[in-house]
């Protein structure tokens, strides 16, 4: 799920893109390439990534963390939008991220992207052990849904006070609101949303863009 905004019909979705999306040509090409791949639904919607870029620009973000990189579209857009931004990207797929590497290099941003191919939890624990606490301006989480809570708990230590944690897929095609849906990912997201609603460590807004984007501001 991810390359559209949930609940919008085709005409309104196209209107939104026509009147909002300002997508660099190289990002449009990467998105088009990714949409032809078997797991294209893992791609974040372009209007959602544009919102993230706007928010990160307002933060003056210089250091970002991405958990779940796929083909590198989000990092490409963010590094192009924010010339001083440096990213640490966590993923386990050499196949998918190699696509991103190609486009990052073409765009001239690869020197600002540190891709770490390992289970994200291990990478985050290593960052904490190395003293990276409070050193990131934002984190974007779009990976295995059952791992989300652990990633957020670590991100709340790694992202500075006042920083942003953005969590993708929190509406999950509407399945989280349907009690009949009891698969592992849906249950994990449903429980995550309940936990986040009561979490006092951050301000919260669940935004119906893309497949549901929960925005957390660390207090």
Confidence tier at 41 by pLDDT (50, 70, 90): very high
In the block, which residue shows the tokens 């999306």?
Answer: 21
Report all structural domains of the chain as residue ranges with CATH numbers, in order of start: 10-218 (3.40.50.150)
Kindly report the average pLDDT of the chain as a whole number. Answer: 96
The least confident of 7-16, 79-88, 157-166 is 7-16
Whether 219 shows a pLDDT value over 50: the answer reads yes
- Which residues are within 8 A (CB) of 49 and not within 5 positions of it... i.e. 6 or more apart? 73, 74, 77, 78
* Confidence (pLDDT) at 5: 84
Beta bridge partners of 215: 166, 205
Considering only CA atoms, which of 198, 148, 199, 137 is closest in space to residue 170? 148
Whether 114 shows a pLDDT value over 60: the answer reads yes
Confidence tier at 3 by pLDDT (50, 70, 90): low
Whether 2 shows a pLDDT value over 60: the answer reads no
H or E element: which one contains 171?
A: none
What gap in Å lies between CA 165 and CA 43, rounded to an integer? 18
Q: What single string gives the DSSP state of each residue in 84-110?
A: T-EEEEEES-HHHHHHHHHHHHHHT-G
Relative to beta strand 159-168, strand 213-218 is: antiparallel
* Confidence (pLDDT) at 30: 98
137-187 per-position pLDDT tens digit: 999 999 999 999 999 999 999 999 999 999 999 999 999 999 999 999 999
Beta bridge partners of 114: 88
Whether 1 shows a pLDDT value over 60: the answer reads no
* Confidence (pLDDT) at 194: 98
Confidence tier at 7 by pLDDT (50, 70, 90): confident
Confidence tier at 126 by pLDDT (50, 70, 90): very high
Tell me if residue 140 falls in helix, strand or coil.
Answer: strand
């Amino acid at each position: 799920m991810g390359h559209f905004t949930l609940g919008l019909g085709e005409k309104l979705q196209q209107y939104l893109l026509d009147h909002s999306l300002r997508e660099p040509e190289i990002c449009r090409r990467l998105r088009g390439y990714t949409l032809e791949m078997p797991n294209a639904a893992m791609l974040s919607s372009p209007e959602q990534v544009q919102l993230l870029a706007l928010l990160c620009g307002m933060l003056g973000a210089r250091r970002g963390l991405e958990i779940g990189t796929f083909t590198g579209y989000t990092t490409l857009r963010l590094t192009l939008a924010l010339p001083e931004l440096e990213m640490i990207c966590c993923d386990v797929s050499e196949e998918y991220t190699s696509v991103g590497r190609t486009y990052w290099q073409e765009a001239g941003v690869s020197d600002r992207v540190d891709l770490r191919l390992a289970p994200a939890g291990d990478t985050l624990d290593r960052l904490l052990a190395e003293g990276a606490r409070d050193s990131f301006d934002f984190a974007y989480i779009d990976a295995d849904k059952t791992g989300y809570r652990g990633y957020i708990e670590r991100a709340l230590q790694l992202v500075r006070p006042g920083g942003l944690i953005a969590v993708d897929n929190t509406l999950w095609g509407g399945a989280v609101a349907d009690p009949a849906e009891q698969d592992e990912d849906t249950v994990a997201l449903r429980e995550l949303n309940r936990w986040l609603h009561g979490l006092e460590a951050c301000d919260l807004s669940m935004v119906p863009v893309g497949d549901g984007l929960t925005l957390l501001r660390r207090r």
